[in-house]
Amino acid sequence: MQVNCSKFIYVLVNMLCIFILCAALTRPTQAAENAPVFSYGSGPYELIVFSDYFCAPCQKMEKELDKIISGMIERGGVRVTFVDLPIYKLTPLYGTYFLYVLNAAPTYAEALRARRLLFEKASRIGAITDKHLETALQAANIPVKPYDIKQSLVRYKDMIRKYKIRSTPTFVFIYSSTDIRKYSKSEAIRKGMVELAKSIEERGNNSCKSCNSMDIPR
């Protein structure tokens, strides 16, 4: 499901406000011990992935690029942040549990494993309640640590506004304060990933020279 609408930002911001309110009214949570927005990897570049678990193009891109993003994080050169957009009615539930996982997960590998599980569940509507997701994550030995997510959602809303996100999937590649590239369609996103891999290599990061040889679909 790809969403393009002139009023998308207005609607999405309102949905996020409702999401924040609902989060405040749900079961008690623990105070966050980590930053309100979780990122993995390090380097001069940044990649922000905006997606919805129930968006069909997002599901396809996730399968294509999961290992590539994981490899880039492992080799170094880029910091990756995932932002969930609550477009589908169940996305706030899935997004909440992804944040709980990020609050508990010490490594990017566990975070990406949780992301794969959530996308898989969403692709077949395999979980529709808190209990369903808790059971699935527990069965996969993925840790969950509840916390007050309101500030994370506020930060997400700010990022959506800042980069004018109007559809999913959208990848934002930040090379510098004056070089920010935003791609929303699958072909363009693949092109952006190739550009990022080449930029990492060109900076002389020897440990990431294999980035350019990754099988990024073109």
User: pLDDT by residue for the chain (218 residues), tens digit each?
Assistant: 444 544 444 445 455 544 443 443 333 333 334 446 899 999 999 999 999 999 999 999 999 999 899 989 988 999 999 999 989 999 999 999 999 999 997 788 889 999 999 999 999 998 899 999 999 999 999 999 999 999 999 999 999 999 999 999 999 999 999 999 999 999 999 999 999 999 998 886 544 444 544 555 55
Pick from 203, 199, 154, 206: which is nearest to 181 by CA? 199
Note whether residue 2 is domain-resident.
no
| pTM (two decimals) | 0.79
Domain membership flag for residue 218: no
pLDDT at 167 (0 to 100)? 93
Q: Report which secondary-structure segment, H or E, holds 84.
A: strand 78-84
* Residue 140 domain flag: yes
In a domain, 127, yes or no: yes
Range of the domain at 137: 8-213
Give the whole-angstrom CA distance, residue 118 versus residue 95. Answer: 9
Q: How many domains does the chain have?
A: 1
Helical H segments across 84-185, by residue range: 91-104, 108-123, 130-139, 150-162
Q: Where are the alpha helices (DSSP H) in 172-213?
A: 186-202
Q: Is residue 152 part of a domain?
A: yes
Q: What is the dihedral of CA 175, 111, 58, 140, to 10 degrees?
A: 170
Residue 119 lies in a domain: yes
Interior CA angle at 43 toward 37 and 45, to 5°?
75
Q: Mutual orientation of helices 130-139 and 108-123 as an angle, nearest 10°? A: 130
Q: What is the three-class DSSP state of 24?
A: helix
Residue 19 in domain: yes
The span from the CA of 186 to the CA of 121, in Å, is: 22
Q: Which of 193, 174, 207 is nearest to 79 (CA)?
A: 174
113's torsion region: left (phi>0), alpha (psi -120 to 50) or beta? alpha
User: Residue 180: in which H helix or E strand, if any?
Assistant: strand 179-183
| CATH number assigned to the domain comprising residue 156 | 3.40.30.10
pLDDT of residue 85: 92
User: Looking at the domain assignment, is residue 199 inside a domain?
Assistant: yes
